[in-house]
Amino acid sequence: DAKTTQPPSMDCAEGRAANLPCNHSTISGNEYVYWYRQIHSQGPQYIIHGLKNNETNEMASLIITEDRKSSTLILPHATLRDTAVYYCIVRGDNDMRFGAGTRLTVKP
Amino acid sequence: DTGVSQDPRHKITKRGQNVTFRCDPISEHNRLYWYRQTLGQGPEFLTYFQNEAQLEKSRLLSDRFSAERPKGSFSTLEIQRTEQGDSAMYLCASSLGLGRESGYTFGSGTRLTVV
């Protein structure tokens, strides 16, 4: 079962930052937080992951709270192509358990 | 293309028929995973392999389902006596298996429709 809670849907204006929250209050000390996204009819695509520190790559930034019970994925300048379902996952040893994710709709 | 390949992309079959899907992982990845995804839901874990050994199976994997990875490279997922409830996207992923810091690379999936 998924160990994360995400809002089912969010909207964002094109060009603005999209901030997607995730709660993972039962995360263990050595479990990583991963974010994937899935565009219609495609496989999930890796975005970013982190353990304790904030992380940034060419796609997004990941902000993890100090107590590690929640995190936020930030897409700094959302485009229409960022419309997708975004999954926040707590990574166990042997598998990744997906929840229902957040459906992000970027609007012109 | 060095990604994860799945074949076929789409499969339509009649109820009661057997189907087999293939997954070719990234060549240096030793772990391979199968997931199932129904409409509006996130992917659900089915099973995974480390090299040729099948190490975990979900209770979603009924006795009509069998997965193999005979030489630790490609994998097949077979569904026998298909039912309409088997209609779903079947996703394959691979990873280096280096623990929790190792992410998965997913294929584009095989969409199965049972009529």
Q: What is the pLDDT along chain B (115 residues), one digit of tens a residue?
A: 579 999 999 999 999 999 999 999 999 899 999 999 999 899 999 999 999 999 989 988 899 999 999 988 999 999 999 999 999 999 999 998 767 777 899 999 999 999 9
Of A43, A87, A95, the CB nearest to B91: A43
Q: Do B42 and A49 touch (CB under 8 A)?
A: no
Write the residue in B42, B48, B93 that is nearest to A94 by C-beta.
B48
What's the pLDDT tens digit per position in A64-100?
A: 999 999 999 999 999 999 999 999 999 877 778 888 9
Q: Which residues of A touch B (CB under 8 A)?
A: 2, 30-32, 34, 36, 41-46, 49, 51, 85, 87, 91-101
Q: B29 — contact with chain A (CB < 8 Å)?
A: no
Dihedral sign of CA atoms A87, A91, A96, A99 in order:
negative
Strands B110-114 and B10-13: parallel
Phi, psi angle pair for B48, to nearest 5°: -145, 155
Residues of B in contact with A87 (CB under 8 A): 42
Q: CB atoms < 10 A from the CB of A53, how many?
A: 8
Contacts A–B by Cβ distance under 8 A: 55
Sign of the CA dihedral with B92 first, then A81, B112, and A97 last? positive
Residue in chain B lying closest to A37 (CA)? B42
